[in-house]
Each structure stands twice: as structure tokens, then as C-alpha cells.
Chains A and B, each alone.
Chain A
């Protein structure tokens, strides 16, 4: 026979049995988890009924006669996002240069620095907000610091990567003309990464404007605070109004920032 030396194919039967067992085990585990978490059809139906009631209560949306205060809170949220992002960019830009392998050529430093950024990047903005609201008291200040601190690690990493991807030609040109490391950054790297930095910062501003509402709910002021107050007293018509207003504001900021970013590209 031609293929008598070939490895014999294993019988398909044991594999099939194993797969059947795994599937059954998976289903059993899933059911056990649902029971443990209290996910029952009864609870599901009850929850959706309540949601339906809330939804009905949202119509028609109403400003509850508090429009000036809502608008002021919306502006406060925008201000928080702006201040938080600006603070983050101011800190992340120099950190980005420190973290770029092509600027600081010490492998050990680079490794530790990047791991440190990764570590802090793992902390969600909500956790920072809880910590800073506890430290600085209720109000936007804690929120601004939380947004900034949450953004610094990931922005620094993005900046560092943009810097590493720069064309080395201008750097060498500056060095050969007698420029120092700082001159290389100033004249060769900074002009190349500035548009990328600006574009990424705008993107973070958009995302922070969206996140800032959540921060209000944990006590950091702004539109989130207004929302939280009304959800607590079941004023769903006003909740609906604020959410709609907020959606329009987010869309406006997004399109403005997108236009700015494409102008920078």
C-alpha cells in the first residue's frame, strides 16, 4: 500500500465524545452561574416592566422649569472636560518624550517607565473620581483631577509611540549641525508630533466630555449631578430632557473636534 508508512489517523470517536462532554459541562456551568447571580425569568420580566414604566414617564421630556441651571451644569461639565484634558496633555507631553525609546535610550528605564504607565492605565476613571472626590470634597475640582490622572498614562503612551515613529532624518540633521538633545526635540521631533498630539488630545476631549457625566453621578458636579438628583426622585421627564440635551451637546463637540482633527491631518 502506498501510505502504509504514514501516521495512522486517530479514530474520530474519542474526540467527538470529549467535545460532547465539554459542551454539556459548559451549559451546566452557565446555568449554575445564572442561578448564583439570581438571573431568573421572573426577575427579568419584573425589571423590564419597571423599565417600561420609566420609559413612559419620560414622555414628554420637560426641563422642569430649571433650564438655566441645567445649561449651567452642562457648561460646567464641558469646562471639567476641557480643564481635565488640558492638564493631562500638559503632563503627558513631556512624559511622552521621556517614554520614547528614541529620545531616552536606556532600555531598563524605558521598560520600567512603560510598565508604570501600564499599571496606572489599569485604574478606571471612576475609581480615580471616587478617590479624588473623597480627597478634595464634592464638586468639579475632584472630577477635573480624576479625568487628568486617568488620561495621563494612556496619552503619554500614545505620545511616546508617535515620537518613536518620527522620521529620524531631521533629528540627524539637527545633531550634525551641532544641536543638543533638546534641540533635536525642539526642532526635529516636536514639529513632527505636534499635529498628532493635537489630534489625539481633541479625541480625548470628546471622550472626557462623555465621561464627565458619569463623574457627576459620584459627586464631581456638572450635568451628572443634575441627572443623579432627578433619577433618585423618579423625575424621568426631566431625566429624558437632560439626556437629550446632553446627546446634542456631545454630537456638537464631536463634529467640531472631528473637523479640527481633519484640518490638522
Chain B
């Protein structure tokens, strides 16, 4: 079980996440919604420590992860697989190598740096790709695939990590509606098959309602709604997206800056 305890993150003067507490249990698919700059991205990045919290704690099964260093930190990141809006694959590497990056935290360094992966890993990678109907692209360069295909490769890489949870940061924001459905279904199926929780930030309220079992809405870095999709009334939606619900557009810039 994932638990966030009163976690905050500021970038200089701007507060991106402001004292958020949240628990996520196995099997949940949590949609994080809110306007740009409301702190969704930063919240996800605080969990796998791509961003370090200013204060507060992240716990997994009651154990804090803020003090993990080096190899332990890498293993923690391996356990919370992340999916990105821009896929973040290595475009000039073939698809199977991109998927195999999912195991580097657990294999000897020298071996992985020579791109040597045991046959069992390679077989696993092909199996993950096949599960997403991407097996036939295994030896193609990732950069030659369409956006929807690249995101499915990214999901295969995430699954290769044998994760305990999935963090998906706007996974379909740069895809067309058809591909967005394919990727959301793939994400749902992959997580469902393992019973692991998913935290997914989404722009589309419609996708959040249809795919998520729970919706968390953020505004100005705080959670202003946490409940089932059916509890999300028009009045609440209005509050989430109304003008001025945004603390500061600079937060969005700070998030982008943190990514760079």
C-alpha cells in the first residue's frame, strides 16, 4: 500500500504540491485530475523521487522511501514504474532493448552496460511486448514507431520492471483519441493482471471517469476532491476547472523545468 503523508514541494517561491496526504491500495486505478499547474505531475514525481519533496513522506507498506540512496533508490524506482507523456524511450535503440531497460536495476552493472541480457530476460521482454500486441516490432528502432505504439512499448518496459505500482503522467495527452483508448485499455489490463495500483494523471475528465475506480482532483497543489467517479458532481467539476483554480502558471513551468 502506498501512503503519502503531508507531502509538499516548492520550486523557489512557488508551491507545486501543498501538504498532500493520500493512500492508494492494491487494485485501485486512481485518476489524478486538475488544471495544468495544479501539481499533478509533481505529485507523481515525488513518489518515485524524480523530484525530492520539500517536506512530508512517502511510505510503502509503512516504510519510508525518502532516505533510500543509490542502488536502493534505483530499486525503489524499478518498483514504481513510470509512464510519460512523451514516452521517453530511446528512439535510436531497438524496441526490445528499450523494454530490457526495465531490468537494469536488478542485473550486474557491467553486463547491462554491454547490453548483455540473459535469454530469460529477452524472452520476458518479448512476452511483455506480445501482451500489448507489439511483439512484431521488437527489432525495429523505437523512433520509427507511431506515438500510440511507442506508448505501448513504454508500458512493456514498465511491466518488465515487475512493478508494485504504476505512475502514469499524462500517458495519452499526446495521442489521438483512438490511440488514447488503446493505451488506456492496455494500462488497465496490464495493471489488472497483476493487481497493482495505478496513479494516472489525465487531462480528459471523460477518460478518468471511464477507466478509473477513484478520482483525485487537485487545485493549487491541494487535493480538493477524492472519491468515486459517480460522486464527481458537475458542481465539483466546475470548481476544479474554474478560472482561478490555478495557483500560479509558474508551477507548470517549474514542473516542466524539473523535467528538463
Do B88 and A172 touch across chains, with their CB atoms under 8 A apart?
Answer: yes
Task: Check A207 for interface membership: any CB of B closer than 8 A.
Answer: no
Q: Mark A139-176, 1 if CB is under 8 A from B, else 0.
A: 00000000000000000000000000000111011111
Chain B residues with CB under 8 A of A172? 50, 84, 88, 259
Q: A177-B77, A177-B78, A178-B105 are in contact. Are A169 and B87 (CB under 8 A)?
A: yes
Task: Check A182 for interface membership: any CB of B closer than 8 A.
Answer: yes
**CA–CA, A168 and B257, complex, Å:** 11
Chain B residues with CB under 8 A of A177? 77-78, 81-82, 101-102, 104-105, 157-158, 161
Please tell me which one of the listed residues B78, B88, B91 contacts residue A178 in the complex, with CB atoms under 8 A apart. Answer: B78
Residue of B nearest to A102 (CB): B260
Task: Check A61 for interface membership: any CB of B closer than 8 A.
Answer: no
Task: Check A191 for interface membership: any CB of B closer than 8 A.
Answer: yes
**CA–CA, A101 and B48, complex, Å:** 24
Q: Mark A169-201, 1 if CB is under 8 A from B, else 0.
A: 110111111111011001110011011000000
Do A179 and B74 touch across chains, with their CB atoms under 8 A apart?
Answer: yes
A178 to chain B, nearest CB (A): 3
Size bracket, chain A contacts: 20 to 34
Do A178 and B77 touch across chains, with their CB atoms under 8 A apart?
Answer: yes
Task: Check B188 for interface membership: any CB of A closer than 8 A.
Answer: no
Task: Check B97 for interface membership: any CB of A closer than 8 A.
Answer: yes
A93 to chain B, nearest CB (A): 15
Do A183 and B101 touch across chains, with their CB atoms under 8 A apart?
Answer: yes
Do B92 and A191 touch across chains, with their CB atoms under 8 A apart?
Answer: yes
Chain A residues with CB under 8 A of B126? none
**CA–CA, A178 and B157, complex, Å:** 11
Q: Mark B148-176, 1 if CB is under 8 A from A, else 0.
A: 00000010011001000000000000000
Do A187 and B88 touch across chains, with their CB atoms under 8 A apart?
Answer: no
**CA–CA, A169 and B91, complex, Å:** 10
Interface centre among B86, B91, B93, B101 (most CB of A within 10 A): B101
**Using a CB-CB cutoff of 8 Å, which residues 35-59 of chain B contact chain A?**
48, 50
Chain B residues with CB under 8 A of A183? 101, 104, 112-113
Q: A182-B109, A183-B113 are in contact. Are A174 and B74 (CB under 8 A)?
A: no
Chain A residues with CB under 8 A of B115? 186
Nearest 7 pairs between A and B by C-beta? Answer: A178-B105, A173-B88, A178-B78, A191-B92, A176-B82, A169-B88, A170-B90
* Residues in chain A within 8 A of chain B (CB atoms): 168-170, 172-180, 182-183, 186-188, 191-192, 194-195
